Amino acid sequence: MGFLKRLIFLKLSNNDLVGSIPSPIEGLESLQRLYLDNNHLEGPIPDEICNLTSLGELLLLQNRISGSIPICIGNLSSLQKFLLSSNNMTSVIPISLWSLEELIFLNLSLNSFSGGLPLEIGKMRTIESIDLSWNRLTGAIPSSVQELESLASLNLSMNSFQGSIPQSIGNLKGLDFLDLSYNELSGAIPESMEGLTYMQNLNLSFNKLSGEIPNGGPFGNFSALSFIRNEALCGNAIFQVPRCKVNGKKSPTDKRLCLLYIMVPIVSAILLVLIICLLRKRQNTGKKAPVSVENLPRIEHPIISYRELCSATNNFSESNLLGAGRFSSVYKGTLANRTDIAVKVLNLHIEGAMKSFDAECEVFCKIRHRNLVKVISTCTNADLRALVLQYVPHGSLEKWLYSNNYNLRLHQRVKIMVDVATVVEYLHHGQPKPIVHCDLKPSNILLNEDLVAQVCDFGIAKILAENKLETQPRTLGTIGYIAPEYGSEGKVSTKGDVYSFGILLLEVITRKKPTDEMFNADMSLRRWVGAAIPDRVLDIVDSELLSTKHEDLTLPEFKRIVLSILELGLECLKDLPEERMDMQTVIIKLNKIKLSLPRQENKVESST
C-alpha cells in the first residue's frame, strides 16, 4: 500500500481486519482521511503514521489498539478529527497532541490513559468537542481551558480529576455540553458558569462539590440529576438539596423563617394532641389502630391523599388496571393537576407483601437516575400501602417484544439495553452499599415516549451490607432469569443481576423467553444460542429484525453486530459468579456495540 502516493481517502471501516497497522502506511504521502475504525486491529500506533502530514481525519476507534499515542503526533499539523475511543490505550497523553491547533474533534474515551491535563491544552483554539471520559486521568482541570474559545462539548467524566472546577470555565461562552461526573472534584460550583447561556446539558454528579448551586443563567433549566451525590451542596429546593445557611444580618426572608421555626413546633404539638385523641377514639370503638409512623419508610415527597388517589384512578376501577403481580396491582391515574401517574397498590393479604413494599421504599429513598421510574409520593394508612409513580406511557419492553402491534429495530433494542446496563451499573457501583435489583426482566423495563428505558419494581431488591458480597434472601426473582446460585443456594450478589442481564440480551435479539415451551431440562435459551453461534446466528435472530431493513447495515455488518451482542450475553451467563464480568465492563462492551451502529432517529414505530 505504500506505493499509493496519490491516494487521498482510505476507508476500511467496519470490517474484520486483524493484526497491526502496517508501517508502510507512511508511503501514502497525500492521504487526507484514514478510516480504520470498527475492526479488530491490535498493537501500537506506528510512529510512521506521523509522516502523513496531509492527514486531516484519523479514525481508529472501536479496535484493540494498545500502547501510547506516538510523541510525534504533533507532526500532523493539519489534523482536524482524531477519534481513538474504545481501544486499549495506556500511558499518558503526549503534550505534543495539545499543539494540534487545527484539531476540531478529539475523542479518546473508553481507554486507560493516565496522568493529567497540561496547561498546553489551551493551545487548541479551534477545538469544538473533547471527550476524555472513561479513562484514568488525574490531577486538576487546568485553568487554561478558558482559551478553548470554540469549545461546545467537554466530557471528562469517569476519571479521577481532583481540585476545584476552574472559574475560567465560565469563559467558554459557546459551551452547550459539560460532563464532569464521577470524579473527585471538590469546592464550589463557579458562579461564572451562570454566564454559559448556551448550556443545555450539565452533569456534575458523583463528586465532592460543596456550597451553593448557582441559580442564574442556564441553571434554571437543570434538574437534581445534574448534582446528585455531592453531599455538601445546598441551594434551591428544585435541586433536592438542603437550603443554604445565610450568615450575617437577617433579611426579611430570614425573619419569616424564624417565625416559622417558632410556629411549626406549636402547630405540631396541637396536631399531635389531635392525633392522640383520634387514636384513642378509634381504640375505644374497637377499630384497628394504624401502623406506627416510626415503622413506615421515610420518603420526602409531596403528600397525596387516599381520596386524591381514588379520584385519580376512578376508585381503582378495573378499566384503570395496568397490570397485577404477586404482591401488588398497578393502576393508571390522573391527578387534579393533570399529571399522569401509575399507582402501585400493595396486596396486604399476601405473605411477604409488607416486606416487599418496605424494600422498594428503602431503595427508592436512596437512588435517583434518569433510567429509573420516578417515585412521586407514597400513600399509607391502616388499610393501604401504595407507591405513586410517574406514568411511563409506552408500556413495558415485554409488550414491545411480544405484541404484533409493535416493532423495535436493532438500534432501538441496543439503546434500550445500554439504558438498562447504565442504571444497573449505577445500582452496583454508584452507591455506598451496592443495590441488587434481583428481578431484571422485560416486564420490569418500561419505555417512555422517546423509548428511553426505565427500570422499575424493586420489591425484592437487596441493599448489600458493607464488605459483604452476598446475603441470604427469602424471596426469589423470576424463573428463567435468576442466576443458578440464586435459585439453588439462595445467594444474591451483583453477579446475579449480571446473569439476568445476559438473559435479557439473548431475549431482545431472539425474541424467545427463557421459559418458552421449546426449552426444557436438556435445552435452555443459553444452550440454544450457544449452539447456533457463530455460523447459524441468523437462524435464531428475531424474524421481525430480519424482515426489516438493516438500518444502513450490510447483511454481514448486521450479522457481526448481532453476534457480538449474543456473545456478550453468553459472557454474562457463566455458571460461576466470579467468572462473570461486572456491569462496568458490560457497559463498556455494550457501548462499543452501540457506537458501531449508524446513527438513527429514535422513532416510535407501531401499528396502533
Helix (H) or strand (E) holding 67: strand 66-67
Q: For residue 552, indicate whether it is catalytic.
A: no
Residue with cell 451502529: 597
Catalytic annotation, pick one of 439, 457, 497, 542: 439
Q: What is the distance between the alpha carbons of residues 564 and 586, in angstroms, rounded to a whole number? A: 12
Matching residue, cell 478510516: 35
Cβ-based burial of 78 (10 A; exposed 0-12, middle 13-18, buried ≥19): middle
Cell 510512529 belongs to residue: 47
Cell of 212: 451553593
Cα angle value 571/575/580 (rounded, 5°) = 40
Q: Which sign does the torsion angle of CA 415, 419, 420, 425 carry?
A: positive
Residue 326 vs residues 127, 360, 442, 476: alpha-carbon distances, Å: 55, 14, 16, 12
In 3D, which of 71, 63, 29 has the Cα closest to residue 46?
Answer: 71
Q: DSSP assignment, residue 327?
A: S
Q: How far is CA 302 from the centre of its chain?
A: 26
Return the bridge partners of 201, or none: 177
Q: Which three cell numbers stand for residue 528?
A: 440454544
Alpha helices in 185-313 (DSSP H): 252-284, 306-312
- What cell was used for 185? 472534584
Are residues 346 and 385 in contact, defined by beta-carbon separation less than 8 angstroms? yes
Task: Collect all residues with Cβ–Cβ distance below 8 Å to 257 and sequence separation of at least 6.
Answer: none
Complete DSSP assignment for 416-452: HHHHHHHHHHHHHHSSSS-EE-S---GGGEEE-TT--
C-alpha cell at 313: 384512578
CB burial of 502-532 (b: ≥16 within 10 Å; e: otherwise) equals: bbbbbbbbbbbbbeeeebeeeebbbebbeeb
Amino acid at the residue 515: T
| Total count of residues recorded for the chain | 608
C-alpha 286/C-alpha 284 separation (Å) is 5
Single-letter residue type at 605? E
CB atoms within 10 A of CB 332: 18
Nearest to 533 by CA among 513, 563, 507: 563
DSSP-assigned letters across all residues of 205-221: -SSEEEEEPP-SGGGGG
Residue 172 three-state SS: coil
In 3D space, the residue among 31, 32, 35 whose CA is nearest the CA of residue 11 turns out to be 35
Catalytic residues: 439
